Structure 1
Amino acid sequence: MFQGFQFPNTILWFEAHPGTAGWTQAIVASLAIVAVYIAATIPVRAEAARLERERRLRADGLALLLIPEIVVLKGEIETCIDHRDIYDTPVSVPLTLASKTDDLYLLGEPGRRLLQTIGLVNAVAAQTRRFQAIGVMHNGAPIQSRASDGASLWANNVTSLRVGIVNLNEVLEQIQSLQIS
């Protein structure tokens, strides 16, 4: 009949079989290492999941804030393409949108495309201001001898701004798909 665990007999058996004691120690040590690893990673995984939920919430909130600003910027670019020339004031990125550029990484691909478009609009504006500053205006009126230079530069700017419109359309689509999912 089973008499329960007999501590002295068990110790004597392990002492009589030295290889068994070594293997038992190795197995128990391995199990202890696995148990410590699992116990240590549970809070880390929970924290990572919490941070991911927080990042998603921040991205969703940022996307909701950006939609009207993107629509306004897109409208300004379209107006600039249709009704302005190299001598007019260039399109500028709204300060409310420019102030959020540090957080655009939260959006992933839409954020990268939006940041690219902001850079493109700023580059077109800087190029336009530079052209205007190098003497193409005299007493507020364009100098006619530089008009051909301005026309080719403006054609390049319009092409760049059209790329910006395409980017903004894709950003809006991607942001709206983020909101649905």
Structure 2
Amino acid sequence: MSDLEAAGSKPACNDSSADADDNATNDEETLAATYDNGIELIKDRVNQLDWEDMERLVAGMLKAMGYCARVMPKGPDGGRDVVASPDALGLESPRIVAEVKHRKGAMGAPAVRSFIGGLRAGDRGLYVSTGGFTKEARYEADRANVPVRLLDLDAFVRYYVGIYDKANDDTRSILPLTRIWWPA
């Protein structure tokens, strides 16, 4: 009697579809974990940037999205670190006004409220804070009369990764990335 007969089983068929499904699931999980690890490494690099490079990076991201963007001169800017518009003169709508806070602490409702108060009719607000936002700050943005988008570090990095191929060389030099190829 053979070992298989002794074990009371039939000879196994080569069920490659089950193996392929298991391998596909494992590959998807590994790919997702690898992507998330990459995002965490990029976030670490963003945290190492100085505030001026962070402002230039936000402007570069908006340029890659098709806007003409410029970093505003230093000084009392009234929450206008970067201004972007579809046209180079800044006359066409939507005009995006961005405030960039590159620090560890979360931005609270008073800071977001002040930013929203400085926006004009027709403006769109973008508030980037590498330290994140409090729940109250998110509430302020949600109830604003002007469209406002809040980007914490994670959301910013994911947007940046998404537009990286369209970014110009100046933007890429601030935060260079390397593509990792993965079998399909």
Whether TM exceeds 0.5 here: the answer is no
For the pair shown, the structure with the greater C-alpha radius of gyration is 1
TM-score normalized with structure 1 length: 0.29
TM-score (norm 2): 0.28
Q: Which structure has the highest helix share of the two?
A: 1
Bigger fraction of residues in strand? 2
